């Protein structure tokens, strides 16, 4: 199973051939998931067409919530990143916490996730 970050979904919906191919291949053997944080980021868009495309995508995948275990993982990550001086965006911390709490892999295009330095974060 694999989680996809907001930027991967945006590129998928925009028709990025590399991302379309990657997710098509993955979906043959893996369940595609995302988080409620990503859901929020996608649905706050003002453009009705983009919001509808996001709704359609979200209806086809499993969306995981931010829960107590994700909060703990996110807080631990925050501490490590703060100590190293390499903090990332708060929403990204929450997304990473959800992924780590569920022992899954996150596909992202955001290079700042590399600051986490964990095998479960894959920059595509």
pLDDT mean values, one per 10 residues, the chain (124 residues): 94 95 93 97 88 93 97 96 94 97 96 88 94
Domain that holds residue 65: 2-123
Q: What is the model's pLDDT at position 117?
A: 83
- The residues, ordered by sequence, that sit 6+ positions from 4 with a Cβ below 8 Å of its Cβ are 12, 23, 32, 33, 34, 38, 61, 106, 107, 108
CATH number of 99's domain: 3.40.50.1010
Q: What CA dihedral angle connects 26, 4, 21 and 48, to 10 degrees?
A: 130
Q: Based on the structure, what is the number of domains in the chain?
A: 1
Q: How far apart are CA 93 and CA 76, in angstroms?
A: 10
| Site of tokens 């925009």 | 14
Q: What is the model's pLDDT at position 50?
A: 86
Based on the number of CB atoms within 10 Å of its own CB, is 87 exposed (0-12), middle (13-18) or buried (19 or more)? middle
Q: What is the model's pLDDT at position 29?
A: 92
Q: Strand, coil or helix: what is 124?
A: coil
Token output for 82: 């703060």
In terms of C-beta distances under 8 Å and separation of at least 24 residues, what long-range contacts does 15-20 make, across chains too? 18/124, 19/124
The pLDDT tens digits for 15-46 are: 999 999 999 999 999 999 999 999 999 999 88
């Amino acid at each position: 199973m694999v989680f996809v970050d907001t930027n991967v979904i945006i590129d998928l919906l925009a028709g990025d051939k590399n991302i379309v191919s990657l997710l098509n291949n993955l979906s043959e053997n893996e369940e595609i998931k995302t988080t409620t944080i990503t859901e929020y980021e996608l649905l706050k868009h003002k453009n009705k067409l983009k919001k509808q495309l996001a709704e359609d995508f979200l209806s086809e995948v499993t969306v995981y919530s931010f829960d107590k275990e994700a909060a703990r993982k996110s807080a631990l990550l925050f501490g490590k990143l703060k100590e190293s001086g390499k903090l990332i965006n708060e929403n990204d911390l929450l997304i990473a916490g959800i992924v780590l709490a569920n022992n899954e892999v996150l596909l992202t295009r955001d290079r700042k996730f590399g600051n986490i330095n964990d095998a479960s974060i894959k920059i595509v």
